[in-house]
Amino acid sequence: MNVVWFKRDLRIEDHAAFTEAASHGAVLPLYILEPELWQQPDMSYRHYAFLQACLRELDQALQLGGQRLIIKVGHAVDVLDDLKKRHAIQALWSHQETWNGWTYERDKAVKRWCQQHNIPWHEPAQNGVIRRLANRDGWAARWYLQMSKPTVQPASGLTKIDEKSDALPPHTTLGLQDDGSVALQPGGRSQGLTLLRSFLTERGEGYTKEMSSPVTAFDSCSRLSCHLAFGTLSIREVFQACQTRSQELKQLPRGEKGKWPGALRSFSGRLRWHCHFMQKLEDEPRIEFENMHAAYDGLRANDFNEDYFTAWKDGMTGYPMVDACMRALKATGWLNFRMRAMVMSFASYHLWLHWRKPALYLARQFTDYEPGIHYSQVQMQSGTTGINALRIYNPTKQGFDQDPEGVFIRQWIPELRSMDTSVIHTPWQAASQMNGYPMPVVDEKLARKAAADKLYGLRKNNVAHKAAARKIVTKHGSRKPGRSRTAVKKGSRNDAQGELQL
């Protein structure tokens, strides 16, 4: 019997591990609910709520194929050991996983167990992330190749295996607290497919322009991130659906295409970024915990201001755009890219908080938490990669640009609902209308300047910084198409990820 271990790939479509295992005989589809994982500081109730819906649908899909999903609660090694007592395990199958430090250590333990018992562990790739990558040259071409391969058809006609499934424990047993969120995205593949269809045919036309404003982004972005993070859809399926739609549009007369071609190009590029950022964690797992560039070690470590951190988490910094975002995130589990970048930048620069605790808080808040993207982005928005141009968002300017009428602010900050639009982004100028909303915790201009001075001071004329940054670019930097590592020119700026080729 072959054990297929479902991890962050909760589907049977385009699931190489499942289909290949089934071609070798009977399969036991297994999901291991690991209580220790759920006790890690980056895990939360909203992830668990999403997971439960995904598992329900995965079970239904498997039952149609003849064998239901077997859920086991425990550490992976103990679960496999226990299964081995009752079944002759021919091989273990699962997709390669690039996730947090805890799952990395657990995978090492499973590998040792497999070697000990002479059980082969087959791990096909599940996205464009490449294991044991020598360097980034040619990475994008390999990504396109991987995305263009035909999707894998699901196996059916499974042999029924007699094995008891455990009940999923209630969230309280796992130490998770219902966080009072009111509008979380529902999990499950059917939800993912509906979003994919509506984005590609109805919602996505204004994507390029509307993705930046939280007023429009909740509808105009694909909202597929949770589904990609839990693997209810494969990134290849999404990429290919986007390609098919692009081909259909090509058949239309010029005047009928609208803004769709540009929107789909932007979207498709972001699917590549998904793997580009995950590749960084795959290549260097320590960036979950440590600065990517060592020159920034100790920079903020001893200055952590708990009061600022609490104000930021609670949406009480006195900067309406930051606070509306933090409150919206708490309620919905999602924010668009620009607003994620702004809240992280505000924590790291204006509040001068070391990125690690804010990153964990955001990880728990984002239903789509994907460590590879998350920690790479967190470090990029905190200025600790050493290879990115510093981008310090001014939250007041972001308010004027992205929410000029204060629609989003009024939606999430009831205290400011009746404030005049002329002062909605600077409520401290109309203290009598603030209704208990706080004054700014820091002076934006002074705080931004202090942070910029420290960061630029550290970088300026620093030969050692440049040398280390060059190594980071070689390891992690995206290459312009057709450019090899040796062709990276001094001082030129790379593509949309904003990586500086130093």
Ligand X SMILES: Cc1cc2nc3c(=O)[nH]c(=O)nc-3n(C[C@H](O)[C@H](O)[C@H](O)COP(=O)(O)OP(=O)(O)OC[C@H]3O[C@@H](n4cnc5c(N)ncnc54)[C@H](O)[C@@H]3O)c2cc1C
- Enumerate binding residues for ligand X (CB under 6 A): 211, 221-225, 228-229, 267, 270-271, 273-274, 277, 336-337, 340-341, 344, 366, 368-370, 373-374, 377-378, 381
The rounded distance, in Å, linking the Cα atoms of 269 and 257 is 19
Shortest Cβ 338–ligand X spacing (Å) = 8
Burial class for 464, CB neighbours closer than 10 Å (0-12, 13-18, 19+): exposed
Min. distance of Cβ 119 from ligand X in angstroms? 33
Minimum separation from the CB atom of position 206 to ligand X (A): 12
Q: Which of 87/209 has CB closer to ligand X? A: 209
Question: What span, in angstroms and rounded, lies between the C-alpha atoms of 383 and 244?
Answer: 38
Nearer to ligand X, 158 or 378 (CB): 378
Helices and strands: H and E segment counts in the chain: 21, 7
As beta bridge partners, residue 33 has 73
Contact of 134 with 46, CB cutoff 8 Å: no
Q: Which uninterrupted H or E stretch holds 5? A: strand 2-6
Closest distance to ligand X from the beta carbon of 260 (Å)? 14
Contact call for residues 215 and 424 (beta carbons, < 8 A): no
Helix (H, G, I), strand (E, B) or coil at 491: coil
Strands 91-93 and 121-122: parallel
Give the residue with the Cβ less far from ligand X, 274 or 425. Answer: 274
Task: Say if CB 377 and CB 340 are below 8 A apart.
Answer: yes
Residue 2 vs 234, nearer CB to ligand X: 234
Nearer to ligand X, 309 or 337 (CB): 337
Q: Are 48 and 4 in contact (CB under 8 A)?
A: no
Starting at the earlier edge strand, list the strands of the sheet with 70-73. Answer: 70-73, 27-33, 2-6, 91-93, 121-122
Query: Which lies closer to ligand X via its Cβ, residue 104 or residue 121?
Result: 104
CB of 334 to ligand X, least distance (A): 7
Least Å distance, CB 291 to ligand X, is 15
Q: Which is nearer to ligand X, 2 or 345 (CB)?
A: 345
Q: How far is the CB of 416 from ligand X (least distance, A)?
A: 25
